[in-house]
Amino acid sequence: MLKVRIDGMDGVRSRIQVEAPVERVEEEINAVARSYRKKLQIPGFRKGKAPLGLIKARFREALQNELFSEWVPKLYQEAIDQEGFVPVAQAEIEDLECQPGDPFHFTALVELKPNIEVTGYDDLQATRPVYKVREEQVDQWLARQQDRHAQIELVHRAAREGDVILVDLQRTDPGGIPIVGERMADQQIELGSGHSFGEAFDQQIVGAGEGEERRVELTGPDQKPVFFSVKVKEIHEKTLPELDDDFAKDLGFDTLPELREKVGAGIQARMDEASEEEMHSELVNQLIANNRFDAPQTMVENYLKSIVEEVKRRSSEDFNEKALREQERGSAIRHIKTHLILQGIARAEHISVPDEEIEDPIRKAAERSKTDFEALRDAMKEDGRWERMHSDLLEKKAMDFIVDHADIKEVVVDLEKSDLVVPASVADDLKAEREAEEIVLTE
């Protein structure tokens, strides 16, 4: 067992002093020396047969260098695991000492995840808003599905509201002279759909025929007039499918009433999730107020880095990385504080997550993907997904504990009179994969 001592330095980094006993030092030196001996041809001895003492004496500096490079990282990790420390940055190793017959010493300078002693979490108060799905919301979802499944047909008549038109747009000056670099070809626009060009555009284009070119005047963001020459290339009429049992069958249900019921249940489930999120947010606000501490800067920066990488992964468009980091910094600090507080509550209340609770969803994922369970589990342990799942489950249990011990009052919210915006969107296609921000309906 290693001797480990930790000292605070500047409130951020810690100095971890590690000592390995003499016996282990000798074992490691001998192992390195034996490895050297196999490769060396020393005069007077057959290759690989020189005395170990001679190898250690003649190549002491080289042996120590190899010992430092190979063994120190392992000892550092062993010390971290032994003491239960969680580093949040790469350690700096210094003060290595290895004298014959003495223990091996080194010091690691590293920022550790702090263990927060949380107070004021067993008598909180919060409101759980109760939302009830309305028929209008079901109607809106069904209308979106009708729109997605609409038939588009090329027609040869004047453009009407609701038509989908294909146009070339050329921005001009007030006199009608084209502005170089301000041309947008083959733009598809649905008249009356609330598109980015606005209602004024629709009013000036409705009635235009195929091949006709019109001059359009709009109002820019600075409230100044903006001029376009718009050429209508094609006009398409959109026909919505009838909202009946056949439509329901196309979406995987037997009847329209059954579809409406499933849609309502799906929206209600998402509303219930939103209700829980609002209640949790209120509780977290109180926990942060009751426990004042600075979020470790490295953890904040690591979190911001993960956001930037996720945006890069999801979008091919360029974006201002610095601006994104500053925009998300407040939420990053809140996220890190919430994480540390919930982890602290879990420690204080001896909340744990058995391996079985992590393995169950992994086993199901392995069955769905026809992957070997043990191989998937080991891969997840290797790449950090196991630890993230453990952390998420632990924090969920900690939040459940807080809710169980809090004074929660339910308040019915009238969505027609409330300013609250409640997520009520659903997956565009019942056969699509689950997306985090949408509701998925199941039979």
Buried b (16+ CB within 10 A) or exposed e, 411-434: eebebeeeeeebebebbeebeeee
Res 265: pLDDT: 92
CB contact at 8 A, 16 and 6? yes
Residue with tokens 């339910």: 410
Residue 174 domain-assigned (yes or no): yes
Is residue 80 domain-shared with residue 156, that is, in the same domain?
no
Q: Tell me if 184 is assigned to some domain.
A: yes
Q: What is the pLDDT of residues 66-75, one digit of tens each?
A: 777 778 888 8
The answer to whether residue 212 is domain-embedded is: yes
Do both 65 and 164 map to the same domain?
no
Residues near 411 by Cβ (< 8 Å), separated by ≥ 6? 127, 128, 129, 130
Per the structure block, which two tokens stand in for 363?
Answer: 């086993």
Q: What is the pLDDT of residue 52?
A: 67
Residue 421 has what pLDDT? Answer: 40
Whole-number pLDDT of residue 425: 29
> What does the alpha-carbon distance between residue 330 and residue 281 come to, in Å, rounded to a whole number?
15
Q: How confident is the model at residue 419 (pLDDT cuts 50, 70, 90)?
A: very low
Domain holding 216, by residue range, is 151-239
Instruction: Tell me the CATH number at 21.
Output: 3.30.70.1050
- Residue 187 or residue 113, greater confidence: 187
* CATH number, domain with residue 224: 3.10.50.40
Per the model's pLDDT, the better-predicted residue between 283 and 91 turns out to be: 283
CB distance 345 to 118 below 8 Å: yes
Q: Which helix (H) or strand (E) holds 191?
A: none
In 342-376, which positions are buried (b, 16+ CB within 10 angstroms) versus exposed (e)?
Answer: bbbbbbbbebebeeeebbeebeeebeeeeeeeeeb
Mapped onto helix, strand or coil, the DSSP state of residue 396 is helix
Positive/negative CA dihedral, 90, 94, 100, 104: negative
Confidence (pTM)? 0.69
238 token code pair: 């959109």
d(CA 138, CA 261): 9
Domain boundary, last residue among 187, 212, 239:
239
Domain end among 192, 207, 239 = 239
> Strand, helix or coil at 183?
strand
pLDDT of the residue at 437 = 32
Give the separation between CA 239 and CA 315, rounded to whole angstroms.
32
Q: Which amino acid is at 108?
A: A
Contacts of 223 (CB under 8 A, 6+ apart): none
Residues 159 and 101 occupy one common structural domain: no
In order of 24, 78, 187, the CA distances from 82 in angstroms are 16, 6, 63
pLDDT in tens, 156-214: 999 999 999 999 999 999 999 999 999 999 999 999 988 989 999 999 999 999 999 99
Max avg pLDDT among 61-75, 76-90, 345-359: 345-359
So what's the pLDDT on residue 413? 87
* Calpha distance 430→213 (Å, rounded): 41
- Of 96, 111, 126, the one marking the end of a domain is 111
Residues of 54-84 as b/e, b for ≥16 C-beta within 10 angstroms? ebbeebeeebeebbeeebbeebbeebbeeee
Overall number of domains in the chain: 2
Q: Is the pLDDT of residue 410 over 90?
A: yes
Q: What is the mean pLDDT of the chain?
A: 85
In a domain, 56, yes or no: yes
pLDDT in the model for residue 103: 87
Q: Is 345 contained in some domain?
A: no
The angle at the Cα of 288, spanning 285 to 291, to the nearest 5 degrees, equals 150
Q: Are strands 151-155 and 225-239 parallel, antiparallel or unpaired?
A: antiparallel
Flag whether 395 is in a domain: no
Average pLDDT of span 399-407? 96
Based on the domain organization, do 104 and 157 belong to the same domain?
no
Q: What is the pLDDT of residues 289-342, one digit of tens each?
A: 999 988 888 899 999 999 999 888 888 788 888 999 999 999 999 999 999 999
